[in-house]
Structure 1
Amino acid sequence: MNEQTIIDVVIPAYRPGAEFRELLKRLSRQTRPVRRIIVMNTRTETDVQALLADCPKAELHELDKNEFDHGGTRDAGARLSDADYLLFLTQDAIPADEYLVERLAAAFTEPRIRAAYARQLARPDCRELERFTRVFNYPEESRVKTAADLPELGIKTFFCSNVCALYERETYVNLGGFIKKTIFNEDMIYAGGLIKAGYAIAYAADARVIHSHNYSGIEQFHRNFDLAVSQADHPEIFDGVASEGEGIRLVKKTAAHCLQIGKPWLIVTLVWQSGWKFLGYRMGKRYRKLPRWLVLGCTMNRAYWK
């Protein structure tokens, strides 16, 4: 990727606030400039235009709440761009420094790499279990993933988080982009198709954003239910790809970490949260066998089922 390569940014937004303003400020200070920042905002009472006032590269595109879709909204933003590369961010992903875009771009070291994603660092208020999960999912070592890694990595081969990920646009368009209607997990669905088409994904550990959440056990249940629904809906991507083993490995590593830091009582919370995750995942995989009222009680995205 040379210096003339054009990069546009796409950010879905819903009631953005101070974090979003900080994101825009840090994007404007990048050593590798972006051309446009396309904000796909779901209409609310929030004055988003005021948040964009100090960012001349930002442009606002609004949609109604019933029009939002995790895949479709991002794809609509992508279709507004003719750039060479598309950088997708969530509104709460804060660039850790001024080198984020430069280092993501530098991850395209070989022609087969058509996507790269950044390392996620925990926020200062992040709880210990989630902080370790960040370290587990986003290690210090960069890596390039291809279909050859499926026996070793399983479903993690398809991991390419849209919290912060850069995509080569021509390939994105040729492969159909993000699925237009999905409950969740549009990034992994696209990444799976990318890998199956013979391309590669780069994990750029030196490109960093600050992003984490302190989810409760119930919130983890809802998230994992929707994650599993997305996998059940796309057998062409996920069938035959090992998935649950990675979750078990995370639990074991986290338990060992709790003992290592002298906080064994956190294992109780770990078991509680892991149980909710597992239950949500198993129910989501079998959602077609569940009554509609139960599905609506399990999902975090009720609008998807309308």
Structure 2
Amino acid sequence: MSEQKSVDVVILTHQPDERFREELRRLKQQRYPVGQIYVINTRSKSFPKEVARMEGVSVTHIEPEEFDHGGTRDLGFRLSDAELLVFMTQDALPADKDMIGELVKPLLASKGVGVSYARQLPAKGCDEIERYTRIFNYPPKARVKGKEDLPVMGIKTFFCSDVCAAYQRTVYREMGGFTRRTIFNEDMVIAAKMVKAGYQVAYAANARVVHSHNYSGRQQFQRNFDLAVSQADHPEVFKGIRSEAEGIRMVRDTALYLLKKGKWYLLPVLLYKSGCKYLGYKAGQNYRKMPLWMVKRCSASKAYWEKYAENNICN
């Protein structure tokens, strides 16, 4: 049996609701012991005061202009001294009491695995297209991905999600940690560094969290714009690794899924949202050619551009 290691959890919050309280309750019920839960909250008008009084929970408040997808998570790493650190978002609910144990299992089994990420299940009320997106990105079969998978899997080799992911402290530090300044995609950036350094990324399919979103076409555009910006800002990671083919495959497979389910009338919605994703992605790839006002309109991360505009916009 694998040696047990200490595990802490970091949750980033902004205007947390009842779903966040339920997440804390479920983390407290995990069979694999969780040491400390570090909540890093971006200040807003409200925060549940009872959370700060919970045993084993530590709350750190930051100002909105201080938030950064990579830098704020790195703060969480520096707050903890656990051997393994789990990152979660405030809307990711553990599906059962074995989520943490299953998530860290690949890290306990091999020092060569730098990070493992959980399977995301559709939440109640999830629309049919998003439901299949969960299945496509988070299938029921676990796997470990490494450098040898790049010729076949392409960019999917680097896929990882900090919605719920566990990191080996030693490997994290060796990689230099999360990029301190990033608009999005900090998880794939560090996962790619690990793969290129000879480490592996584990998809822990038996570690399950309930998490999904019903994004509008505009939201899909903005999300994919930010995704492409993150890739353009990290050519050392993503140069030469194409992702369009994976997107095309997802659209094709989703269409077949809808037809099989008798939901053919959703095909126009699929085409519309897929078009929004593609246009957002292509715009993000070329963001340096755009004026700042247009970049802000295209992005879901307005505060990021206020903070870093002078270093990112060339014109």
State TM-score, norm by structure 2: 0.95
The alpha carbon displacement at 1:80 in A equals 0.9
Equivalent in the alignment of 1:16: 16
Contact 1:71 1:180 (8 Å CA) reproduced = yes
Q: Which amino acid aligns with 1:96?
A: A
Instruction: Return the alpha-carbon distance in structure 2 between the equivalents of residues 50 and 148 of structure 1.
Output: 48
Q: Which amino acid aligns with 1:82?
A: D
Quickly say closer, same or farther: Cα 1:277–1:141, change in 2 above 3 A: same
Q: Which amino acid aligns with 1:34?
A: V
The alpha carbon displacement at 1:291 in A equals 1.6
The alpha carbon displacement at 1:111 in A equals 2.6
* Count of equivalent residues: 305
Find the residue that maps to 1:178 and give its secondary structure: coil
Alignment of structure 1 residues 71-86 onto 2, 5 Å: 71-86=70-85
Contact 1:21 1:52 (8 Å CA) reproduced = no
Q: Percent identity?
A: 52
Q: Which shows bigger deviation, 269-278 or 44-53? A: 44-53
Could you tell me which runs of 5 or more consecutive residues in structure 1 were left unpaired when the two chains were aligned.
Answer: none
The alpha carbon displacement at 1:98 in A equals 0.2
Deviations 1:168-227 (A, max 9, x none): 011111211111111111101111111111100110100000000000001000000000
Contact 2:147 2:195 (8 Å CA) reproduced = yes
Contact 1:36 1:58 (8 Å CA) reproduced = yes
Alignment of structure 1 residues 201-212 onto 2, 5 Å: 201-212=201-212
Question: Is residue 87 of structure 2 the alignment partner of residue 88 of structure 1?
Answer: yes
Q: Which shows bigger deviation, 101-110 or 81-90? A: 101-110
Find the residue that maps to 1:162 and give its secondary structure: coil
Equivalent in the alignment of 1:61: 60
Measured on the aligned residues, the alpha-carbon RMSD in Å equals 1.1
Equivalent in the alignment of 2:25: 25
Instruction: Return the alpha-carbon distance in structure 2 between the equivalents of residues 238 and 33 of structure 1.
Output: 36
The alpha carbon displacement at 1:237 in A equals 0.2
Equivalent in the alignment of 1:219: 219
Q: Which amino acid aligns with 2:117?
A: Y
Deviations 1:49-90 (A, max 9, x none): 32343x311100110011001111010011111110000000
Equivalent in the alignment of 1:185: 185
Q: Which shows bigger deviation, 67-76 or 2-11? A: 2-11
Equivalent in the alignment of 1:196: 196
Alignment of structure 1 residues 141-152 onto 2, 5 Å: 141-152=141-152
Equivalent in the alignment of 2:286: 286
Alignment of structure 1 residues 1-306 onto 2, 5 Å: 2=2, 4-53=4-53, 55-108=54-107, 109-306=109-306
Contact 2:130 2:213 (8 Å CA) reproduced = yes
The alpha carbon displacement at 1:47 in A equals 2.7
Instruction: Return the alpha-carbon distance in structure 2 between the equivalents of residues 4 and 100 of structure 1.
Output: 15
The alpha carbon displacement at 1:2 in A equals 4.5
Instruction: Return the alpha-carbon distance in structure 1 between the equivalents of residues 132 and 46 of structure 2.
Output: 34
Find the residue that maps to 1:107 and give its secondary structure: helix
Equivalent in the alignment of 2:313: none
Q: Which amino acid aligns with 2:60?
A: H
State TM-score, norm by structure 1: 0.97
Quickly say closer, same or farther: Cα 1:252–1:162, change in 2 above 3 A: same
The alpha carbon displacement at 1:48 in A equals 3.2
Instruction: Return the alpha-carbon distance in structure 2 between the equivalents of residues 111 and 95 of structure 1.
Output: 25
Find the residue that maps to 2:80 and give its secondary structure: coil
Instruction: Return the alpha-carbon distance in structure 2 between the equivalents of residues 13 and 40 of structure 1.
Output: 6
Equivalent in the alignment of 2:311: none
Q: Which shows bigger deviation, 107-116 or 261-270? A: 107-116
The alpha carbon displacement at 1:110 in A equals 2.4
Instruction: Return the alpha-carbon distance in structure 2 between the equivalents of residues 258 and 103 of structure 1.
Output: 31
Contact 1:49 1:60 (8 Å CA) reproduced = no
Contact 1:144 1:201 (8 Å CA) reproduced = yes
